[in-house]
């Protein structure tokens, strides 16, 4: 194998220039190097995996990581608070939700839109209901829309089986924050089964950090949610915490704006540009 690809470590972000169109011109592929054999390298890009024959590679080099502004923002915190879903874990990564939406004749993200519009969803995340009750309500609603019992049962099995998948870059950031001695919490509009879900996907170490609306009784972006979360942070730390000490990130703009109104520093969550 040429040294061009031999020196690239697996997992690194790389740019690989390679010949296409029978060698008539070259193009660059940017992404993460996920596999290397004697005959090809595999680069994971935003649009999927690209397999590049080693014989077609004309240049290759690692790409320096860009600074992650969100990481710098949280590392300056007296207390760091992060949202859970969309920040530390993601749903629908196995394609099953999209499959269900197609079978139900829904647009992308149409199933979560239906699910979270149900009154049982609001009750669940504020501790007045359970995940099981929400699932029963979803099932009944889909049946009322005219879908067959067989399809609805399949859709609900897929939904219940999806515990989410870790967003590894953010999980690593939380680990760095805690290692640096920064008190760190995970503030979620969650359900009664969030701790078990985290354990099932390898994030059980986040459970002690949870500030779960299901337990607190109020959900973001209600002002009361930030007040009770702040009080719980003070209780756990055993001291008064100035609101300006807290730095918070969430993937929902409304939740960040509400945190700022409460007096926390807030920044909308984004991953680094190259991720």
CA distance 107 to 105: 7
pTM attached to this predicted model: 0.77
pLDDT at residue 1 tops 50: no
What pLDDT score was predicted for residue 63? 83
| 43-72 pLDDT per residue, tens | 988 778 899 999 999 999 988 767 799 999
Residue 149 structure tokens: 């019992």
CB distance 80 to 185 below 8 Å: yes
The angle that helices 223-237 and 253-262 make with each other, rounded to 10 degrees, is: 60
| 156-203 pLDDT per residue, tens | 999 999 999 999 999 999 999 999 999 999 999 999 999 999 999 999
Residue 65, phi then psi, degrees to nearest 5: -70, 140
What pLDDT score was predicted for residue 48? 82
């Amino acid at each position: 194998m040429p040294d061009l690809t031999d020196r690239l470590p697996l997992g690194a972000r790389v740019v690989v220039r390679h010949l296409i169109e029978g060698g008539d011109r070259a193009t660059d592929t940017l992404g993460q190097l996920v596999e290397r054999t004697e005959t090809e390298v595999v680069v994971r890009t935003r649009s999927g995996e690209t397999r590049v024959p080693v014989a077609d590679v004309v240049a290759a080099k690692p790409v320096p990581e860009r600074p992650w502004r969100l990481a710098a923002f949280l590392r300056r915190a007296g207390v760091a608070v992060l949202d859970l879903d969309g920040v530390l874990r993601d749903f629908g990564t196995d394609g099953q939700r999209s499959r269900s939406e197609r079978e139900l004749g829904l647009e992308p993200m149409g199933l979560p839109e239906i699910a979270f519009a149900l009154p049982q969803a609001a009750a669940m995340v504020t501790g007045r209901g359970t995940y099981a009750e929400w699932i029963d309500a979803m099932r009944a609603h889909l049946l009322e829309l005219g879908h067959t019992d067989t399809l609805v049962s399949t859709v609900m099995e897929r939904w219940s089986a999806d515990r989410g998948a870790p967003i590894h870059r953010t999980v690593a950031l939380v680990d760095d924050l805690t290692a640096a001695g920064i008190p760190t919490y995970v503030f979620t509009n969650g359900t009664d089964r969030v701790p078990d879900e985290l354990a099932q996907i390898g994030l059980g170490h986040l459970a002690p950090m949870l500030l779960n609306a299901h337990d607190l009784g109020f959900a973001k972006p209600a002002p009361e949610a930030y007040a009770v979360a702040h009080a719980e942070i003070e209780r756990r730390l055993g001291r008064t915490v100035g609101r300006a000490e807290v730095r918070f990130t969430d993937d929902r703009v409304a939740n960040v704006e509400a945190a700022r109104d409460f007096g926390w520093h807030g920044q909308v969550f984004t991953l680094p540009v190259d991720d």
